[in-house]
Structure 1
């Protein structure tokens, strides 16, 4: 069995798997998975988002607790004891009752507690949005990876089909003595190389399809690359220059919003700790049912009054809490400045990289057109017997390399736009 026949037997199964699809004789799927629809599904299904929402619910519970400080507090109590009732006697004291208290003035302590808790809620909301964006970004990257690999498979399929035709022609020439075994071996090697590269790309497609299915819950095929390109361009509309990009990143990125909310919460906590030595005034009312040991009877008692509590000495605990609050605030403010610097740099680099890739794509398309013209010229000379097979093969491979470069650059540009959309908080909003 010749080397070509062995490759052809293996290649027949490969063509059924690797080169199958709408472009190779199969009907297109009834409904494809749209780029924007996939983003929404990935954001809604991600378990990380569920965890972020649980943390958000915890922060809302803290807010409800902070709001309760200025609401009436009702508790019941029971006491039983024996002790002195005078200089010479003692008595048993049994008491059941209800205590009602209402904070009336606390120098802003309850207000600051609510502000701190509200800052925590805002921060958790931004964290939830960031988790949605990350899940959508992971899905989008897999979506583009699959489309890119399928486009490259299409280019390699053209190479394989071309060299199959060339091999048939070389075999005919070989029988007539017009070609050599070395020429035949070159063609067989190129066929084997094409099928090996297609196998690797098929693995990339399958791996991306697995991630798409896990993130979106859908097994549908991705829509055409033009739809993804249109969706990205629509989300980035209005970002005309680098200043717009940087301003959008610093103003709307969820991580920036979360950091600012944390700072607001810590500012309220700092102010609250600074006022911790100020008094808290409460109105208190008590109604109780008491056993009188002297008369051996139960009787009711009630009391209404004002409670004023002021910490006098806490062993430096209040000072330590105050210092801790200021230190945490300074850390978060420093973190915000660092985050603003890094995001501004990333946004500017992403925008400039996008412009560079757009220019590169135009030039690579021009190179591919020139390589195609060169290959067609060499093919014409070869058919007239004026060229050699190695030169023809090199021309074909150069053209294919240029075509693959066009595909890689086109999808690099789409990924860069996706990254720019993430940095500028232009990811689609997702309904709960």
Structure 2
């Protein structure tokens, strides 16, 4: 018995310690989401991927812009004649030549291939931006799930600790009655068995809580404090299922992402087909030179143009077109799949809320009835009309009902946030979190600066 009492005491200390950490400052769901938004590595990685995708726009745009270069060089040359009778040392001469100049190259027409590549790059950057929003929703939903897992875990630990205390009291009562001749050894054995089961359930709840707290800290970056599941984000949920579906189909980042992916694939097809057309380029050079023997050479220059038309490339051009067509079809299929998945997620979350409401109502009734039954059975046991087993069974039923209420309440909160995520509204902006929203839009605008690279070189 000493081991069981110590176990309960240690669990009580764990709960009290967790409560004392946040007793002065309760940690709401909104606060946890705010901290997690700034901490989440997955969200930061998505932002970096979006910035990387934005650079593809600059790379594509460079295809229709000139390349201008400056060069300076020099060389040293010498020659020596064959020695002869009249000139035993031979003839030796040397000179140095220095050159400097500018070069200019530009593709003036490529059958609109570059324009198609720019459009593909812009659509790809848009895909990456929507991927940030999608990752944001996944991260915030995972935080809510971890938050509620810790909160419900603490409630279950407290409940099962209370259950163990009850069984300990019943075991002592059974022993006392046995000592005065009013009970039986069967009552004692049954109470001992229930206490052992209660201990096992309690220890399992403690282990589960430790795992949940570790998961919470991974997402939030800090240990959970005194958690409180109350929130006002249910106001973002529309009044009907159809309204929720309509909102999801219009604004969910996964759907917007799939639309941008279709545009990127279409532009890729256009670029592949443009490879069959002609390409025209112009080039020019201007420079000067100086030779230590001949002196200055003055200015010299060259201007030229070239038109090329592909005739055969070993089948590569046709393969690229076919591949681009396949990718375009695939993007459209992926978009249809995204619509179906989002619709399913909305319906599932909506049903989850309705189910949780019904379970909460039923669990509240079961808990109220279970308390009444337990009190009555204990009184009847004291009068001799019920047994210890009846009391233990009544306590077990009450505990099951209370656990059901905890689980139903947890499921209600998770289903609410799951519906917001399915609608595309589980974002820092929609939730009103006090954070700087992660976005690559400004970065996209910066890389569109035509002369940024030239200014950087000049500086």
Deviation at 1:398, TM superposition (A): 1.4
Residue equivalent to 2:112: 108
Change (3 A) 1:198 1:306: same
In 2, Cα distance between equivalents of 1:366 and 1:316 = 74
Pairwise mapping of residues 244-393 of structure 1 onto structure 2 (< 5 A)? 244-289=243-288, 298-393=297-392
In the alignment, is the contact (CA less than 8 A) between 1:260 and 1:336 conserved in 2? yes
TM-score by length of 2: 0.79
In 1, Cα distance between equivalents of 2:393 and 2:214 = 36
In 1, Cα distance between equivalents of 2:27 and 2:279 = 61
Residue equivalent to 1:138: 142
Deviation at 1:27, TM superposition (A): 8.0
Change (3 A) 1:390 1:274: same
Deviation at 1:133, TM superposition (A): 2.7
- 1:19 matches 2:23: no
TM-score by length of 1: 0.84
In 1, Cα distance between equivalents of 2:179 and 2:17 = 35
Deviation at 1:125, TM superposition (A): 1.6
Change (3 A) 1:424 1:64: same
SS of the equivalent of 2:102 reads: strand
Change (3 A) 1:280 1:291: farther
In the alignment, is the contact (CA less than 8 A) between 1:40 and 1:428 conserved in 2? no
SS of the equivalent of 1:33 reads: strand
Residue equivalent to 2:208: 204
Q: Which runs of 5+ in 2 are unaligned?
A: 76-96, 429-434, 439-459
- 1:66 matches 2:60: yes
> 1:330-388 deviations in whole A, cap 9, x for unaligned?
11111111221222123212212321221122122212222222222222222233322
Change (3 A) 1:239 1:22: farther
Change (3 A) 1:159 1:131: same
SS of the equivalent of 1:100 reads: strand
Aligned pair partner of 1:147 in 141, 148, 151: 151
In the alignment, is the contact (CA less than 8 A) between 1:38 and 1:216 conserved in 2? yes
In 2, Cα distance between equivalents of 1:296 and 1:165 = 112
In 2, Cα distance between equivalents of 1:27 and 1:108 = 64
Deviation at 1:123, TM superposition (A): 1.1
SS of the equivalent of 2:302 reads: strand
SS of the equivalent of 1:300 reads: strand
SS of the equivalent of 2:227 reads: coil
In the alignment, is the contact (CA less than 8 A) between 2:237 and 2:420 conserved in 1? no
SS of the equivalent of 2:194 reads: helix
In the alignment, is the contact (CA less than 8 A) between 1:44 and 1:132 conserved in 2? no
SS of the equivalent of 2:300 reads: strand
Residue equivalent to 1:86: none
Change (3 A) 1:282 1:25: closer
Residue equivalent to 1:416: 415
Residue equivalent to 2:128: 124
Pairwise mapping of residues 213-232 of structure 1 onto structure 2 (< 5 A)? 213-225=217-229, 227=230, 230-232=231-233
In 2, Cα distance between equivalents of 1:135 and 1:248 = 21
In 1, Cα distance between equivalents of 2:9 and 2:309 = 83
In 2, Cα distance between equivalents of 1:24 and 1:271 = 60
SS of the equivalent of 1:179 reads: coil
Residue equivalent to 2:82: none
- 1:47 matches 2:41: yes
In 2, Cα distance between equivalents of 1:79 and 1:328 = 51
Deviation at 1:52, TM superposition (A): 2.4
SS of the equivalent of 2:27 reads: coil
- 1:174 matches 2:178: yes
> 1:372-422 deviations in whole A, cap 9, x for unaligned?
222222222222333222222212211221111121222122222232222
> 1:246-296 deviations in whole A, cap 9, x for unaligned?
22333333322222222111111211222233334444332144799xx89
In the alignment, is the contact (CA less than 8 A) between 1:354 and 1:416 conserved in 2? yes
Please report the RMSD computed on the Cα atoms of aligned residues, expressed in angstroms.
3.0
Deviation at 1:117, TM superposition (A): 0.7
In the alignment, is the contact (CA less than 8 A) between 1:256 and 1:336 conserved in 2? yes
